[in-house]
Amino acid sequence: MSNTPDPRQQPPAARTLDHTVAAVPLLQGRVLLHENAINIPRPRNALNDDLSGVVMTGPKADARAFQLRTTAGYQGTLLIDSAPYATHTATAEEPFIAPPDELFATVDDSLTFQKARGASAALTPTGYIPPASSRALKAVMREANRIERADTLVSLPIDVTWLNRENIGQLIAVCSKIDHPKAVILFRQFDPLEQTKDVPANLRRLFTEVEHMSLLRTDLAALDVMAHGALCAGIGVQSSLRHAIPPDEKARTGKRGGGPTYPHALMPELMCFKGAESLSKLYANVDPATCDCEECDGRGLDRFALPDGETRREADNHTLLTWSSWVSEMASYRVGNERKTWWRNKCAAAVDRYALENQRIGLGAHPKSGFQVPPPLKAWATLPVAP
């Protein structure tokens, strides 16, 4: 798509909602897609307008969100996450990071600015909340409760150790006292949910015990919290947007030696993300797993290990269509035990398919390579439906 608008067709003005329009009804039940603000935004047909939306993420998020609204004409639900937590740590004195630009000196200005750029609701510019930093967490609560707007989500970019047995009680207590809806972002290298064994259960507890919680910048944990009563959630379009890392650390990709990075595709039967390179290797000598989504149309999932942008977009659309179909399916079950049971059974059925798929491609039942059940999936498949 060209970036130059057709002069005969003026782009529509960004739809601006003021601070009195509440965030909760706009976001309720949605699983949003985190888009990388490095890329020129293009609307995705794969996005379900009733159950999804976009979180524009990264340093240029506001400008890209505005382009998505105006040049690209996107009308759906939109959040802007400029990710101040990627470079700033929250302190007791300064829990929110007002943009360094002098034009936008206060937190309220930052929230108003997001709305002017087309956001449906505004996210507080909270800094990263380090392990056990109670003073920073309480400062977030205190400052958040001074905000007199209906359109604000309080962003909580927390280190995953806040979900440990020792800290979860305090996290729940503080979150319960924040008057606005909340958006948790988990920090850790690799998958935060694999950090310790009790993280999936405690994350659920947080979402069950506190009202209006959402989980952003995550992976399939989005569906787990949605099944357990979350307000909304957000899944990253690429693996770096499916968690966050503390400001003083560099991303470790687990890849040795550099070279191009390929997308990770969501496996529809196994419910895990797998790198395109390893998929093409695993399926080198056997029929690949196939997919029936609109993008794949029955083709194999071994085809994404190419460095070009179109292949990446195709892989991303496949992943988006795959989890979107699960979100639609979930929406057809009643909130509560019916929905939780459906999710647990779905995860359990996926876990059961690993040994079969590994044997089909010529690996043993418990191979060191091949497909491994991600520990969070195993937890979702086995944790009790009711706490």
Selected range binding Zn ion among 179-187, 188-196, 290-298, 337-345, rule: CB under 5 A: 290-298
Taking CB under 5 A as the rule, does residue 119 contact Zn ion? no
Selected range binding Zn ion among 69-77, 87-95, 246-254, 286-294, rule: CB under 5 A: 286-294
**In the complex with Zn ion, which residue's Cβ is closer, 290 or 341?**
290
Q: Would you state the structure tokens that stand for residue 178, as one six-digit string?
A: 């924040």
SS3 87: coil
The helix (run of H) or strand (run of E) holding residue 156 is: strand 152-159
Instruction: Find the shortest distance in angstroms from Cβ 74 to Zn ion.
Output: 23
Q: At what angle do helices 337-360 and 309-331 cross, to 10 degrees?
A: 140
**In the complex with Zn ion, which residue's Cβ is closer, 124 or 322?**
322
Selected range binding Zn ion among 9-17, 198-206, 295-303, 372-380, rule: CB under 5 A: 295-303
Four-point Cα dihedral 42, 48, 50, 52, nearest 10 = -70
Taking CB under 5 A as the rule, does residue 46 contact Zn ion? no
C-alpha to C-alpha distances, 34 to 47, 57, 206, 240, 371, nearest whole angstrom: 12, 6, 22, 10, 26
Taking CB under 5 A as the rule, does residue 347 contact Zn ion? no
Place of tokens 């977030």: 140
Q: Would you state the structure tokens that stand for residue 98, as one six-digit string?
A: 């007002």
* Helices (H), ranges, the chain: 23-27, 61-69, 107-116, 134-144, 168-176, 199-209, 221-227, 276-282, 309-331, 337-360, 375-382
Taking CB under 5 A as the rule, does residue 271 contact Zn ion? no
Taking CB under 5 A as the rule, does residue 296 contact Zn ion? yes
Instruction: Find the shortest distance in angstroms from Cβ 294 to Zn ion.
Output: 8
Selected range binding Zn ion among 14-22, 120-128, 311-319, 347-355, rule: CB under 5 A: 311-319
Cα–Cα dist 98/66, whole Å: 20
What are the backbone angles phi and psi of residue 128, rounded to the nearest 5°? -60, 130
**In the complex with Zn ion, which residue's Cβ is closer, 274 or 318?**
318
Classify residue 126 by burial, with Cβ atoms within 10 Å: 0-12, 13-18, 19+: buried
Classify residue 1 by burial, with Cβ atoms within 10 Å: 0-12, 13-18, 19+: exposed
**In the complex with Zn ion, which residue's Cβ is closer, 119 or 321?**
321
Q: Which residue in the set 158, 293, 320, 379 belongs to the binding site for Zn ion (CB under 5 A)? A: 293
Taking CB under 5 A as the rule, does residue 289 contact Zn ion? no
Cα–Cα dist 113/104, whole Å: 8
How many residues bind Zn ion (CB under 5 A)? The answer is 4
Selected range binding Zn ion among 4-12, 17-25, 284-292, 364-372, rule: CB under 5 A: 284-292
Taking CB under 5 A as the rule, does residue 327 contact Zn ion? no
Instruction: Find the shortest distance in angstroms from Cβ 187 to Zn ion.
Output: 30
Taking CB under 5 A as the rule, does residue 44 contact Zn ion? no
Instruction: Find the shortest distance in angstroms from Cβ 369 to Zn ion.
Output: 23
Contact 270, 353 (CB under 8 A): yes
**What's the number of CA atoms in the CB half-sphere (13 Å) around residue 12?**
10
The 3-state secondary structure of 97-119 reads CCCCCCCCCCHHHHHHHHHHCCC
Q: Which residue in the set 122, 193, 206, 291 belongs to the binding site for Zn ion (CB under 5 A)? A: 291
**In the complex with Zn ion, which residue's Cβ is closer, 215 or 296?**
296
Selected range binding Zn ion among 7-15, 51-59, 293-301, 352-360, rule: CB under 5 A: 293-301
Q: Which residue in the set 318, 339, 340, 344 belongs to the binding site for Zn ion (CB under 5 A)? A: 318
| Among 94, 69, 90, 92, residue whose Cα is nearest residue 79 | 69
Q: Would you state the structure tokens that stand for residue 335, as one six-digit string?
A: 């909130």
56-75: contacts with Zn ion (CB under 5 A): none
**In the complex with Zn ion, which residue's Cβ is closer, 65 or 279?**
279
136-155: contacts with Zn ion (CB under 5 A): none
The site for Zn ion (CB under 5 A) is made up of 291, 293, 296, 318
